[in-house]
Amino acid sequence: MFTLNGAYIHERQNRAASFAAGTAEHPTGTLNSTSLNASYYYDAHYGLSAGRFLNHGSRDQVLFAAEPGSGSRTGSPDSSGTIIQADWTPFGGKDSWHAPWANARLGLQYTIYDKFNGAAHDYDDFGRSAHDNNTLFLFLWLAI
């Protein structure tokens, strides 16, 4: 089985309270999120997925100020990367034990950032690069 999923989300943000409190440079902002994911499952048991994400938003030097780890030296929330996943669904077949009630999935997912908070390198003005946020995620999913 092959699936292809995509999403686009556009946000208009009202930051009036943050602006009045001095924690935002602008009273409004936007954020656009785009994602595309492709998955292939063999024999309803073994799966491989790959996805791409892109977030682009309004610059705000106060709201997205430079600080270690989560800040932005550019004042930008722009981030992008790739997600790769492999998983196993032991009871995925029609003839599986207690089908369709026994549902479990074991998987491994890796997120690779090529841009984080507006830059690939030194995004926080403290020497941290986007790839420093790469994440390995092992999961067990159960549904009853």
Q: Which residues of the chain have pLDDT under 50?
A: none
Q: Which residues pair with 49 in a beta bridge?
A: 39, 85
For residue range 114-141, what is the model confidence (pLDDT) as tens digits? 999 999 999 999 999 999 999 999 999 9
pLDDT of residue 93: 78
In a 13 Å sphere around the CA of 74, the CA atoms on its Cβ side amount to 17
Phi (first) and psi of residue 75, to 5 degrees = 75, 20
Could you identify the residue written with the tokens 């032991």?
90
pLDDT given for residue 134 in this prediction: 98
Instruction: Report the predicted TM-score, pTM, of the whole model to 2 decimal places.
Output: 0.88
pLDDT of residue 91: 85
- Determine the Cα–Cα distance for residues 52 and 128; give it in Å rounded to an integer: 22
